Amino acid sequence: MDSDAASPQPPQGGGDVVMTDGSSAPAAGGGGGGAAAASSERQVQLDGIDIWFPPNTTEASKQLTIRLMRRTIGRKGIRRLIRKEGADPNLVIRILPKGVAASEVARISVVSILALAIDDPHGAVPFMWVVDPKPDGQEHPREERLMMLPTWPTRQIQMDVLEALIAGGPIGVGMWSANLEAVIELLRSDVAVDGDWLAFMPRRTGVLEKRLDHDYLVHVLAVHQELLEAHPELATEVDQEQCNPAHRLSMINPLPLDGFTHALLDLLSSCGTDLTAANAEGKSPLDVAVSAASLMVFVLCETLAVAEVDRPSPVTNFTPLSLAALYLAGDSEHDYDNIVFKKVLIHRRKNIIRRLLIRGASIANMPNATQEDRERRALAKKEYVVVLNELPFVVMDRVNKALAPQRDAAILMARILPLVEHNDEAPSLPHPPSPSPLSFGPQESAAIAWHIGAFLHEPETINAVFVMKDDTPKGRRLLGVMRHFVTSAATRTSGNREVCGGVIEREDGRQVRIPQLQCFVLGGVDGRRVGLREVVHKLRLDEVRRFGLSGVVKGFNNEAGDEGCVFDWGQLGFVDKEGRFQSLGIQ
């Protein structure tokens, strides 16, 4: 190939002209001017041809084009270049006569790389591979330049290559362009989809801000629904590392919006994706998310049963919590160049440990044989102290959310009731009295409004919003007492003051402190009464004793110590409306 020849001016919009060996020079050849190729590759023979790529064409796309022209790539190589290196399977190149300006060319041949992959077994040279350096009407004869490509070794290899380009091309572009109509049409045309991992999310989602846009992701989800409805088997595909679509989703950083991630995970699961499957390294999707410090840990923890949250790997015997502590220890000791990155990463690792602990992962199932094991346990214990210190605030926040509709309604009705006119006399009387405003005693309208508002309290919201679920002992205990507290607060009190406690002023001017609602009784009708705070602290004390924790703060009545929070769970109950003791049945 004559690399010293002057290159023509690029077509409209500019572009790169690349030799068939990948160097930046005019691509030409033919007769004795074919591109020199490595001995292990077939030589691409071009007869006086320059190849122009569009502006900003990636090196991976150029490599894909050149290797297709040389017939030195197969299905796996195409997948790798497209999926991992970002090659464009829909790339269109321009073919011009070598050394001739675009303005002097009768016809510039525009060819897709998919077309380049099609063999010309009869040597007829498709017309789109012919370029004319001189326009019609000149006295010089036409000088057609022919592009002659080698053929694939077998017809099957050609079919495999074409399928890989099509699968990685139109259907892939349709999916990630969120073009539902295009995907429907392609599916209607029976485009090959198997073996190309179309249900797998791209490894990187944050290159373009648009990829995290809510409206875009809504359409992407619709495309996935259409695709998986037509081909549910895609949800069960695995790659060379035995990773399924859930594993891939767990690798992604940054993670798309929570709503999209939850919906996509539910869709994959409903179509057969195993959310607990082990890959070649023995890692479940949760293990992969922990390793990648991905926020998918939070999504999976809401979806998986506690047995799966704390299940050891069949290869390493590490639970996700053990793995999280291992990575936290490693990242804490690693000397990162970017200090800010290290702080963010460690903060995320700690939050992952906390979420695993909340969802039922147990420190007791972490290895404890070596000094390193004990150091990792210590890291997990430190984060568990943080979890337990935050727990009372989380509990009260969820309780307040459940009582919020009743409180809002009671405040509004307490203002409206005194303004309501009424008439107790029968309207059939000859001269019924005029309507008059309702009259109430002190706090009477507020109490009536509170009882009316009780119809609006929502104890079921606790299950929906609370981070602990009822498939763990502490989750069952905590959810049970929270539901009872909300029901008692809503239906067995005369106002919000009885629920929250506080200081009130009596008629004689003296201030009296009212405790928070104490709706639990220990052991019987005459047993000691305790409130929600005491019960929550009892649960925390159990964990402190179990794992030898230090640093858990009581946070109320500190001067009284922990004595008021010491009891057996079997003692915990309440007194019903008939005055009988009812056990909560907590063991």
Alpha carbons 503 and 511: distance in angstroms, whole number:
6
| Position 173 in a domain | no
Instruction: State which of 158, 181, 215 marks the end of a domain.
Output: 158
pLDDT in the model for residue 137: 47
- The tally of domains found in the chain comes to 3
Dihedral pair phi/psi, residue 148, rounded to 5°: -105, 120
| Position 379 in a domain | no
Residues 210 and 313 grouped into a single domain:
yes
Residues 228 and 141 grouped into a single domain:
no
Counting residues of the chain whose pLDDT is more than 70, the rounded percentage is 77
| Position 378 in a domain | no
Residues 571 and 465 grouped into a single domain:
yes
Alpha carbons 360 and 182: distance in angstroms, whole number:
45
Q: Is the pLDDT of residue 436 over 80?
A: no
Q: Is the pLDDT of residue 522 over 90?
A: yes
Average pLDDT over residues 88-117: 75
**Across the strands, what pairs with 581?**
575
- Residue 476 CB neighbours (<10 A): 15
**Across the strands, what pairs with 93?**
111
Residues 327 and 403 grouped into a single domain:
no
Output the average pLDDT for the chain. Answer: 81
Q: Is the pLDDT of residue 120 over 80?
A: no
pLDDT in the model for residue 575: 95
- Residue 578 CB neighbours (<10 A): 6
3-class secondary-structure state, position 91: coil
Residue 326: burial class (beta carbons within 10 Å; 0-12, 13-18, 19+)? buried
Alpha carbons 176 and 60: distance in angstroms, whole number:
19
Residues 214 and 77 grouped into a single domain:
no
| Position 382 in a domain | no
Band the pLDDT of 24: cuts 50, 70, 90: very low
Check if the beta carbon of residue 199 is closer than 8 Å to that of residue 238. Answer: no
Residues 125 and 205 grouped into a single domain:
no
Residues 534 and 479 grouped into a single domain:
yes
Average pLDDT over residues 259-276: 95
| Position 170 in a domain | no
Which amino acid belongs to residue 183? V
Check if the beta carbon of residue 60 is closer than 8 Å to that of residue 87. Answer: yes
- The pLDDT tens digits of the residues spanning 464-499 come to 666 677 778 888 899 999 999 999 999 999 899 899
Residues 151 and 225 grouped into a single domain:
no
Q: Is the pLDDT of residue 64 over 90?
A: yes
Average pLDDT over residues 18-32: 36
Band the pLDDT of 426: cuts 50, 70, 90: low
| Position 374 in a domain | no
pLDDT in the model for residue 358: 93
Average pLDDT over residues 553-582: 90
| Position 10 in a domain | no
Q: Is the pLDDT of residue 434 over 80?
A: no
Check if the beta carbon of residue 477 is closer than 8 Å to that of residue 483. Answer: no
Check if the beta carbon of residue 75 is closer than 8 Å to that of residue 35. Answer: no
Residues 408 and 343 grouped into a single domain:
no
Average pLDDT over residues 37-45: 34
Residues 153 and 240 grouped into a single domain:
no
3-class secondary-structure state, position 213: coil
CATH code assigned at 335: 1.25.40.20
Check if the beta carbon of residue 268 is closer than 8 Å to that of residue 199. Answer: yes
Instruction: State which of 103, 134, 158 marks the end of a domain.
Output: 158
Alpha carbons 320 and 307: distance in angstroms, whole number:
11
Residues 407 and 326 grouped into a single domain:
no
Which amino acid belongs to residue 137? G
State the residue for tokens 């998919």.
114
Q: Name residues whose C-beta falls within 8 Å of residue 154's C-beta, 6 or more positions apart in sequence.
A: none
Sheet strand arrangement including 92-97: 16-17, 49-53, 92-97, 109-112
Residues 406 and 519 grouped into a single domain:
yes
Average pLDDT over residues 358-369: 94
Domain range for 340 is: 197-367
Band the pLDDT of 134: cuts 50, 70, 90: low
| Position 183 in a domain | no
Q: Name residues whose C-beta falls within 8 Å of residue 234's C-beta, 6 or more positions apart in sequence.
A: 193, 194, 197, 198, 199, 227, 228, 245, 271
